Structure 1
């Protein structure tokens, strides 16, 4: 007797096998699945890239903040470490320990004894093995502290070091939150993509040309492109969905622009910090010289010859300090230009006259003028004098011994071209991209603000400075000004 099963699964399997292919034969299903997969993949890649970028930026920011904080600890504890002023060192570590992200901070002398610490019971102990190199991301799996070390040096002599530990807990929490938000956005993109694909499938055969044109405009960056909704049927629904998508992209674009502005502002603040550090570096040496000179002047037994030499140092360093501050104020508080019609040739001659009175450039320098018959243009006399003076002084300082400086005014259409050519040592090719940056200078007495000031003044005049140089042959700097209308 043959056993007959109560239920036969073969017909059901056959029906299921026929049903599944039939489902994928429909355009609607394929559109839904395809678009959903594209949304998920793109959103997943975007989320992954965003997390990686944020991770890199946050980690780099933590490293930079940690190094800055360690450097501040070094500056604040140097004198106290030399004097073994435990109270001052304790105050330094106490202030450091008040920061939320600081895990620990210590000041150690050259013998290896802890002079101040945020951790109890550490003061007075001789440290064991300490970090020899600063930590770099990624840290070890179980490591939640970024360890940093900064040497305390005085005239290249090591008098101690500081160690600093920054907790990465807040960093990890921020990255976890970003990942979770990315997953939520991916799921939301999956839902929205599926709905949009279903709506698209309803009227995919109608008005494809108009939709294609609008899609191309969106792809080309024109987020204002929209599809005209002329009916209430499936085509109208699809058109409205398309317009909603374009509006969503436009909002996303605006949000990205806002994020870009925020990053730009952060970069500006970083530039301000770099500027402040550069200024502090520039004024440190003259301030030290002035302080030491004042101490010497207070010595009643100082010989007359030494007294005169010290006074000369005070005068020299004071002028140097004043020049640094003047350059910085000119760079940071550049006045608005008052453009007026004038003869630029007269201003060039006045500038050459000022330079000729300087004994450093009176001998060995030949000025060659090449002027037009009509050299009238629009400029601010005071600001343009500063431009010409800076550019000519830069050219003269590049000339060793005897040399020639060519000042050429040449009218081209409605612009007056101003060029200054020297036969000095020229600019090395690897420095061409650096010379226009604030505080970059190759001269010991320079502040690195001359060219940035010139560029800002020319920008106010609607002009751009161009620099052409060949090392060993000389340099030409040029810009254009708007000429005065004859009528």
Structure 2
């Protein structure tokens, strides 16, 4: 979970991305608004000035035409001077062909204007020394008497454009700030359920009761959050059903193994019973000395203790109980599992050899479950072992792990079956000889302890290993010789 949280922290949160995208959208929209608005406003101002200029030119044309017809140059100069009084008019002149007929010049008039035809009515833009002008032309008497040319300064349009740009820019800044704030608030509101689902995913454990996300929105994200809650509940229920199924499998296999062990222990119990019966007959005859009578009573007590020990082992193995983890010496698990199956090995005249390497190792585990796992492996090994064959049960500490091994000398597992040996109900035994749950249950027990089940297939036989980690609270102590000695022991 910690690695997942570190991985998530490397990325920009979704709400930040949404806020950035929203802010970028606001900037782009208002930038476009400024450009388009400024362009449209400029065009509108040009059109307005063109109409005003055209109206002024048409108002002057009749008066100038009259002065031209009477060749009254003084009258024409007065009309031109009157037009120049307007501050927006840069020049006003009458041209006849290429020659300028009036001499009055405006303050900002260019020193030379390009030639225009007598019937030219087009409005043109003139640039002169960093200034821009709009020139309106109107023919006099359809061009026969000359051409009136009036130039208007565009400084006012330029100033109006700048003022408009500043106004739109200020509005854009205000809109940007408001848009960013709105984008952040909306993005956070949208991503709250997403964040809740992300945190729930990080802490979700199917073994624990899932907690509600607390998302009350009715939009798509709210629906998604509720579906996510339902999914966690279904996973939790599925996990509980799976645990219950595994527990049933363990108990089923336990009962099957119990029947097998009971058949083997029947012979072990019959021997002390026969001895006790013989002692009882001798005591009933009444023809024994006091020493012999005491000896027979002692033998009967030893036989009863032997039967009690055998029955106790069987009951300990058969008693169902939840997983109870406690410190256990691994060689004790080895000896108890071997003692449970020893009668079956003796009945088949096979050899069970126990081996342990290193010192005393204490493992935190469920003693009974680990015994069941080893018994399952030993019974499988015994099944494929011929009369007089040998099975080796060993335990060792390797690199922070405890390794239990069961090695047989049987024919081995065919390659086509090796991938399925841990599947529930899969077995190669004859009908009635097995449930097909032994290795599956063993694997579940091992996984419940955080370990793993391994198989090795040498040229002959099979080696099955149980690897369990020495986790928190586990300890391996220095070598301590057991009362039985340090070397491997053979049991025939």
Tell me the TM-score range normalised by the shorter chain: 0.3 to 0.5
Q: Rg larger in 1 or in 2?
A: 2
With the length of structure 1 as denominator, give the TM-score of the two structures: 0.36
TM-score (norm 2): 0.36
Higher relative contact order at CA 8 Å, sep ≥6: structure 1 or structure 2?
2
